Amino acid sequence: MTGTEPPGLTVDGTGLRCVALLLQLRKAIAGLPPGTVVHVIATDPAAPLDLPAWCHLIGHSYLGPLPEPGPLAYALRIGGEARPVDASRPWHLAP
């Protein structure tokens, strides 16, 4: 299965910097079952680097950029063993 399968959720982070995007993404995916595919729309130029790194840190699978709706869309799959992050700093694991 790839990120091109229909998403269970699409998160629109248009105009958000990656920190705000990750906070919004974390809130949006809370409680989703493992295996759910999430499409993320992100205009921040750092998103292609930050999203895979965040997924690796948290325990989700980064599936890569999507051909549609355009070059600013990415896919990830919710992991079964997701690790909790600090509430105010989504790029740090919770203590």
Q: Is the pLDDT of residue 89 over 80?
A: no
Residue 69's pLDDT is what?
59
pLDDT tens digits, 43-82: 999 999 999 999 988 889 999 998 765 668 899 998 877 6
Q: Decide if 90 contacts 49 (C-beta within 8 A).
A: no
Which residue, 25, 48, 34, is CA-closest to 77? 34
Q: Structure pTM?
A: 0.81
* 11-28 tens-digit pLDDT: 999 999 988 999 899 899
**28 three-state secondary structure:** helix
List the domains of the chain with CATH numbers: 9-77 (3.30.110.40)
Q: pLDDT value at position 1? A: 44
Just list the catalytic residues.
18
User: 65 to each of 32, 41, 81, how far by Cα in Å?
Assistant: 21, 10, 23
Q: Let me know: does 61 contact 32? Beta carbons within 8 Å.
A: no
